[in-house]
Amino acid sequence: MIEEYITTAIADIDKRLDELVDDDSTVVVAAQYSLLAPSKRLRPIITIATAEALGVPRSKALDAACALEMIHTYSLIHDDLPCMDDDDIRRGKPSLHKAYDEGTAVLAGDYLLTYAFEVIAKASDLSPQQKISLVEVLSRNSGASGMIGGQALDIAAEGHDIDIAALKTIHSKKTAALIAAAAHFGAIIGDASEEITKALTTFATTIGLAFQVVDDILDITTTTEQLGKPAHSDTEKNKATYPSLLGVEEAQRLALSLYDEAIAVLETIPLDTSILAAVADKLVKRNF
């Protein structure tokens, strides 16, 4: 069931993304190279599944979900640059700055960042208040108090000894904040109560941390071909990871503990959240 759900959701997301970035200018074509590459589409799927749990048709949530994927992709394009993580492979092919050049990669990322907000503003099925709320959440969770702030902390920590608490702080911002935004998007579109919104975002934040722990494990236990990005890159950059601080087995236990914590929160929500639970299970238990 979950495999079919994810397959159809990805197809719907990819189709809408292709429609939204239908332009033959150099910067947009470069952005298409990264944005339309095969991907898990984790964040937009969480938005759609959350909205659907609240009784909202997928079509109403699709543009906001795509905007979130644009923000995520822009962050990957910029993260891969030589001045950041300096990675040459992303989503199974050369990173954008390798396929084109650094200047084009910067501009393509900037385009996706700015265009995401235009997509939300033009979403015809959403009320003005919903659009304002979405912009507020996206700005906060992708900005200095969220994703960008986490990347800044991550860069500053390279080559330094940090503890597990500091690592969790980095990834609660760099990774989990945008995943939390995905659930929050669905809650906004579905007009969820404050209590349900809080529970959904807590679930997504916790799953986001678990997702990062698993990513760190897979970085040292799988190949570049399997990951679709350079394996062992964190080790080569002397970056602290959950396995480097805890060991692989203890990191696996942490991921599963976070998963259990997230599911426990999900079970308190008086909605059919079975799809969200299945997505969480698939994300955390991959390759274990």
Q: Which tokens sit at 173?
A: 């911002």
More confident residue, 22 or 227: 22
Residue range 114-150, pLDDT digits in tens: 999 999 999 999 999 999 999 999 999 999 999 999 9
Residue range 50-88, pLDDT digits in tens: 999 999 999 999 999 999 999 999 999 999 999 988 888
**H/E element, 148:** helix 147-157
| Per-position DSSP letters for 104-136, written without gaps between them | HHHHHHHHHHHHHHHHHHH-TTS-HHHHHHHHH
Residue range 195-247, pLDDT digits in tens: 999 999 999 999 999 999 999 999 888 766 666 666 566 666 678 899 999 99
Structural domain spans, the chain: 2-284
Beta bridge partners of 90: 93
| % pLDDT > 90, the chain | 86
Q: What is the dihedral of CA 187, 191, 197, 199, to 10 degrees?
A: -90
CATH number of 2-284: 1.10.600.10
- CA distances, 51 to each of 12, 72, 134 (Å): 15, 19, 13
Q: How far is CA 41 from the centre of its chain?
A: 8
* pLDDT at residue 200, rounded to an integer: 99
216 contacts 242 by C-beta, under 8 angstroms:
yes
Question: How many CB atoms are located within 10 Å of the residue 136 CB?
Answer: 12
